[in-house]
A = this chain, B = another copy of it.
Amino acid sequence: MIVSNFRIRFLPDQRETVADQRQTLLEAARQANVYVGAICGGEGVCGKCRVIVREGEVEGESTEFLTRDEIRRGYVLACQVYPRSDLLVEVPPESRLVGYEGIGRDSERFRDFAHRGAERPPTELTPVIEKFFLVLPEPTLDDPTADQERLLEAVSKKCPGPLQMGLKITRELPRVLRRLQENRSSWNWKWDGRVTATVGLRSEVNEVLCVEQGDTSDRSFGLALDVGTTTVVGHLVDLTCGTTREAAAKYNSQIECGADIINRINCARRPGWAETLHQAIIRDVETLIDDLVERAQVGRGDIHCVVAAGNTSMLHFLLGLETDLIRLSPFVPVATSPPPLRAAEVGLRIHPRGILYTLPMVGSFVGGDITAGILASGMYKSDELSLLLDIGTNGEVVLGNKDFIVACSASAGPAFEGGSVSCGMRATFGAIDSVRIFRHGLAVSATTIDGGPALGLCGTGLIDALAEMFLAGLVDRSGRFQVNRACDRFRVSEEDDRPEFVLVPAKESGSVRDVVISQADVENLIRTKGAIYAAADSLVQSVGLSFDDIRKVYIAGAFGNRLDISSCITIGLLPDVPLERVEFIGNSCIAGAKLVMLSRSMFDQVHSVRDRISYQELMVDPAYMEKFTSACFLPHTDVSRFPTVRERLDKRKSKS
């Protein structure tokens, strides 16, 4: 076979690479370090890797994910086509990696958020990394205490308990504590003694990570990390005041090896691929750090710790631990309480002696994400019975109070994170996060996170859209589109002859394409919400209680800011409890990671909380499957479970 090489240039980044005719455009883009969204890992099944070929020839299958008009305009799926000449390729906005999550901007909001459930207000911060400005007295003949002991003594006064200190820091100490004075050909030592010591919490002791001249105690940062199956989120936290300075998110690039965890674990069995998957997640975190430090104008060396939360498999990938045993009975993780370790050891380039903390896991199916959520909600110390729904690629459900905690996990799928939905996207620029439908679908009002043109729908937008379509009678209780309704927004998909609903036509919002919801999307969303509701239902029943006993429902997830609780109840994602009992706590992984980062008491408590969690394996339970089937309706087979929804439906019906 003769291999031909072609020059491929990508817009708008103006990056270039050389690829041969056996490489897909997606591979070429990766090679050029150009991000093109691809949920399915290049299998051609997610339709997310849309690019526009501006110049040159490609070869490849046509696809159901593109309309005839799009194909005419040069759209291709990057994972399905191969170059046949030099190319100029544009990556349109909906396929690009853009900015931060909507949730990340308001630092006021974050300060409140980070301290939800914390023992003390932010004024009593006790972060795992602390900086102390010290003025050490000059040694004398009466007090010739060694440099290291002099320093440690001063640190001990501020930070009790055993201390350790590495050789490298000790070696530098004489020069940090003194200034070298040159006179003639020689030099002399001049005592200074004003230094800042950075102290970090290790397993049982505190470690002096760094000693610097002068007072630098106003500069210290930590990275709270949510290592999600679909999305990786990082928040840069100012450890001196507890506020969040910046937030960033990106899709987990392990997605190339499959959208779900089991596919990735299988992928890691291939020789060399475990390391590839580990490196992929490290690169993602490094990308987030690049973004965060640039926006916050902070040096990487000012970041002294990373606190990571995530499910057991993702934390294993992060640490480079074997994942294969997680998927095999009896489902044994390598480690559930990884001790604090040097972040550099996994390749994270923060301060060279900065520490990586991992939230403790319970087992293969209850990870540090659940521990984080329980911590963030504060349910573990409440008298009242609380339910926590963490809606990510896996839906985790926790029920409990200060006396007991039970948890289970449901394979919900990434629909609410923008995966497996035709116009789904992360809660970022251009994402529709709220939808209202009036006059039986003749009028639609949609807002985007940034107020700009709509590119797609994030989780809150999808929930709203489904709830509004249902209330407007555009879908029936089983989720079927009511195309016979007098609504010109319905049209039939060219590809599969199935109907789709045009939420925002491109021409209306000034966007590049119509934002639609298809019949298949609605089915996906209903399965996802059904899985979560059924898990909650099973868990509540398993302990002999009912939804009425629950005093608080916490919803966590990577939604936009404007999650409409009422919409969540309308579609049957949440049980029909009084609205005031429901609270959206945002990304509870990040929130839990921040609590541990900012409070040593939380750091201590997280392990005892972890030890109290008992896992319920509902997925092999036939009763769960029955509950799931019943929950795959709007809002549920048994409408009597949702009296407020019935009331609203009745109200609308009587109006029409």
Residues of A in contact with B (beta carbons under 8 Å apart):
139-141, 143-149, 162, 164-168, 170-171, 173-175, 189, 202-205, 319-322, 324-325, 328-339, 341, 345-346, 361, 363-364
Contact = CB atoms under 8 A, between A and B. Distances in A.
Given A146-B332, A170-B335, 12 more contacts: A140-B330, A145-B332, A146-B334, A146-B336, A146-B361, A146-B363, A162-B204, A166-B341, A170-B319, A173-B335, A174-B321, A174-B325
B345 A167 contact: yes
Contacts of A345: 167-168
Given A332-B147, A339-B164, A322 B175 contact: yes
Contact of A334 (B148, B168, B328): B148
B204 A330 contact: no
A492 B521 CA distance: 111
B204 A333 contact: no
12 contacts: A144-B332, A146-B332, A147-B333, A147-B334, A148-B335, A164-B202, A170-B338, A174-B324, A174-B325, A175-B322, A203-B205, A204-B205
Contacts of A319: 167, 170-171
Contacts of A147: 325, 332-335
Contacts of A143: 330
A553 to B, nearest CB: 30
A409 to B, nearest CB: 15
A177 B461 CA distance: 48
Contact of A335 (B149, B330, B341): B149
Nearest to A162: B204
Contacts of A173: 334-335
A325 B187 CA distance: 12
Contact of A171 (B170, B320, B336, B361): B320
Nearest to A345: B167
Number of copies: 2
A141 B203 contact: no
Contacts of A189: 324-325, 328
Contacts of A334: 146-148, 170-171, 173-174
B148 A337 contact: yes
A361 B146 CA distance: 10
Contact of A346 (B162, B167, B333): B167
Given A174-B322, A329-B141, A338 B205 contact: no
A368 to B, nearest CB: 13
A203 B320 CA distance: 28
A147 B319 CA distance: 15
Contacts of A168: 345
Contacts of A331: 141, 144
Nearest to A361: B146
B164 A203 contact: yes
Given A146-B333, A164-B339, A332-B147, A170 B321 contact: yes
Contacts of A148: 334-338
A339 B165 contact: yes
